Amino acid sequence: MANPSSSAVLGIDIGGTGIKGAPVDVATGRLLAERHVLATPQPATPAAVAETVRQMVAHFGWTGPVGCTFPAIVHNGVTLSAANVDPAWVGAPAQRLLSDAVGLPLALFNDADAAGSAEARFGAAHGRGGKVLVITLGTGIGSALIVNGQLVANTELGHLRYPGTESAEKSCSARVKSDQNLGWDEYIARLGGYLQYVELLLSPDLIIIGGGISRDHADFLPRLQLRCEVLPAQLQNDAGIVGAAIEAAQALAR
């Protein structure tokens, strides 16, 4: 991979517990090599995460453009929140820090926004009009709102507070299910309450559920009581990688 093709971008998905990456053909959304996974350093400081991203680039011998996701609000390359990483990221020039660490052109995006873009381009939302909401269930909860094919960036609906909860991601993220050893009945009740609240606010035409838990969609999606259609993410846990790559291809071409 030392000499990537013009349609190849290295996608890196930075999460609260793991950092995964692979080169992506942005014309097809296909991974060009087996996904590589590294543990997110603890604490996940800017310096430590930048070093792990450098290791990911080195693993693939990559010399081309890089797209990265990050679990935070990302505005003009600056991270404005830090829900599941070190608070030193708040206000950090994250895109520049990571680009300097790898010595390559790099573009940074909110993780759920990247996943939503991937699902819109190659996955369950492809060709769908109206309002599509992508919810990623992982260490936290991410959201991507796509209106008639256009992404509304940094919606952060995982931090919604609604009756009986401190926040959505502290009630029904995939990590909460695991940490609290919730059975499907309890988890579906929590997740369903959250999605009903979001549906009340936004009236989406389609909700797509992503993140690693989407592999088990048969256990819970059919039991959610919502007005709108609900589908599992087609790209599952690769959506962030693919989305990072396709968004970076567009951003770095400007």
Digit-coded pLDDT (tens) for 30-82: 999 999 999 999 999 999 999 999 999 999 999 999 999 999 999 999 999 98
Q: What is the mean pLDDT of the chain?
A: 94
Residues 6+ apart with CB under 8 A from 147: 130, 131, 132
* CA–CA distances in Å: residue 224 to residues 175, 192, 231: 19, 6, 11
Neighbours of 178 (CB within 10 A): 12
Query: Which residues contact residue 240 at a Cβ distance below 8 angstroms, ignoring those fewer than 6 apart?
Result: 11, 13, 15, 20, 69, 111, 114, 115, 118, 136
- pLDDT of 203 reads 97
Query: Per the structure block, which two tokens stand in for 103?
Result: 């010595």
> What residue has token string 């992503």?
210
Distances (CA, A) of 89 to 49, 93, 204: 10, 8, 32
Alpha-carbon distance of 149 to 198, in angstroms, equals: 19
Domains present along the chain, CATH in parentheses: 8-113+238-253 (3.30.420.40), 127-233 (3.30.420.40)
Question: What is residue 88's predicted lDDT score, i.e. its pLDDT?
Answer: 96
> Is the pLDDT higher at 163 or at 13?
13
- Inform me whether the pLDDT recorded for 17 exceeds 70: yes
pTM, to two decimals: 0.90
